[in-house]
Amino acid sequence: MRIALLSLSAAVLGACGVAGNPGDVPDGASDADASVDAGVAEDAGADLDAGSIVDGGNTIDGGNTIDAGNTIDAGNTIDAGDAIDGGNIRDAGAMNDAGTNRDAGPSRDGGTVSSGIPFGMWMGQSDFQSGNPAGVNWTGVDVGSSDPAAELQLLREARARGLKVWSRLVGGQENYQVDPVNGDYRFSLAKWKAQLDPHIARYSEYVDYINDGTLQGHVVMDDINSTGKWGSSANFPTFADLEAISQYSKMHMPALKTAVRAAPTTLEQWSSGQPYVYLDTGWGQYSWRFPSNDMGNAAAYLSQNVDAARRIHLGLVIGLNIVNGGNPNGTPMTSAQLRDYGAALLDGSDYPCGFYIWEYESSSTAQGYYSNYSTTELATLATKARNHLRSSCAFH
């Protein structure tokens, strides 16, 4: 599919109110936030120490405390009958319900391998307009709107262009923090649910997009370990929080997969090694500074995150931070780094289910970051994604 097919109109996405603030960043992106991957800072200037991931004193949502016993008040109950015991969420068979069971593994039809995973981008406030390299077979995009009407229009446009979409239906952290305007950046489960409820009310309209693969899943939260977004590490959402929001999404939109845009190695730290039940997918977005003991080794990063995803029962999306994930640290990736790191991720394992690059647009100009790279470089990675084994985005 040519890039012309991917030019989502500015009018459509303007109307869609694309979610994700101009300043939103991934694990270790444009602001000097704390991000942790396998105990290592994912962000220049990280300030998270080993004991601060889940703090017994962390206060969540207007005084609701998740302590060592994981007490959750009546307003934040995960589900009737579900027990939270020392961080272990136990649900008697809930994941076997129709539409909520985790997928089988990589797809093989009649003994032949069904190939291809989405090759796309994490899109900013603009759509595909001038400056995109022509001839690249883009097949995926990460966007979203907190307005269901706008989101459904976005999905119609994506389907028409053959795009596979990961959507952020609840928007950014400011939509579900207690009082971010006045500096209270604690997570509010009640506000998060209120953000999703309008989509839940129109879930029947989403089902066709889920069933035909247009809507790949719901990114339930982003930047879980960013002090720039949460104020301090004491406010970071916990393992119990991530499971609670994932369960709420699956309870009411059962066919829709759930993802957190954080590396499985980070999510494994969040859960203290316990498997996830309701969260389906982790997100490994590579920068040169990973792994900390072998920087520039994208193959090692992939291997670590595939292994972690399997240990904690998650699928895996992979990708690159081209904005400031290059060498020297904090600089854009060079053409050679894009080519080499991307190839290492796409060739190194059959486990990942998609490849998404962060990000399309500069926050300060209308210039797309993709204009830094040639059609040949991007098309080479697109071909690798097209030839990749098709894989489930859930644990397999």
pLDDT above 50: residue 317? yes
Give ∠ CA 172-223-230 in degrees, rounded to 5.
75
Residue 369 vs residue 250, higher pLDDT? 250
Determine the Cα–Cα distance for residues 281 and 7; give it in Å rounded to an integer: 27
Amino acid at 32: A
pLDDT above 80: residue 242? yes
pLDDT above 50: residue 235? yes
pTM, 2 dp? 0.74
pLDDT tens across 103-150, in order? 545 543 332 345 799 998 886 434 543 334 445 778 888 887 889 999
Average pLDDT over residues 31-48: 37
pLDDT above 50: residue 56? no
Enumerate domains of the chain plus CATH numbers. Answer: 3-54+115-387 (3.20.20.80)
Q: What is the pLDDT of residue 228?
A: 94
pLDDT tens across 247-302, in order? 999 999 999 999 999 999 999 999 999 999 999 999 999 999 999 889 999 999 99
pLDDT above 70: residue 152? yes
By three-state DSSP, how is residue 125 classified? coil
Q: What is the pLDDT of residue 3?
A: 36
The Cβ-side half-sphere exposure at 40, using a 13 Å CA radius, reads 14
pLDDT above 90: residue 396? yes
pLDDT level of residue 88 (50, 70, 90 thresholds): very low
pLDDT above 70: percentage of residues in the chain: 65
pLDDT above 80: residue 44? no
Q: Copy the structure tokens of residue 373.
A: 């790279």
pLDDT level of residue 368 (50, 70, 90 thresholds): low
Main-chain dihedrals φ then ψ at residue 179, nearest 5 degrees: -160, 70
Judging by beta carbons within 10 Å of its beta carbon (0-12, 13-18, 19+), is residue 296 exposed, middle or buried? middle
Q: What is the pLDDT of residue 123?
A: 67
Residue found by looking up tokens 């027990």 in the block: 83
pLDDT level of residue 233 (50, 70, 90 thresholds): very high
Q: What is the pLDDT of residue 77?
A: 37
pLDDT level of residue 83 (50, 70, 90 thresholds): very low
Lowest mean pLDDT of 70-74, 176-180, 276-280, name the range. 70-74
Q: What is the pLDDT of residue 99?
A: 37
Judging by beta carbons within 10 Å of its beta carbon (0-12, 13-18, 19+), is residue 65 exposed, middle or buried? middle
Closest CA to 138 of 3, 322, 8: 3
Residue 345 vs residue 97, higher pLDDT? 345
Given a contact cutoff of 8 angstroms between Cβ atoms, the answer to whether 60 and 189 are in contact is yes
Given a contact cutoff of 8 angstroms between Cβ atoms, the answer to whether 368 and 330 are in contact is no
pLDDT tens across 248-257, in order? 999 999 999 9
